[in-house]
Amino acid sequence: MTYDEFEAWRNRVGMSQKAVCELFGLSTNQPRRYATGTPIPPYIAYACAAVEHELPPVGAQEKAPAD
């Protein structure tokens, strides 16, 4: 994922940089680092896809009661 793709995603889902940082546990400086060439790790791209497709975090789903 490039920084331009990251920004396009952020705009598509309507999240501020601050909201993205809080959701993903990033420092508020991290998007600036991405903008200046720091590679965006694959897990961030996967997290972006999960948010865009409204997937809940693993383990957040209600488990069916045991029989």
Residue-by-residue pLDDT tens, the chain, 67 positions = 999 999 999 999 999 999 999 999 999 999 999 999 999 999 999 999 999 999 998 887 666 566 5
Name the region of 52 (left: φ>0; alpha: ψ -120 to 50; beta: rest): alpha
CA dist 23 and 10 (Å) reads 12
Contact 45, 1 (CB under 8 A): yes
- The pLDDT score that the predictor gives to residue 64 is 58
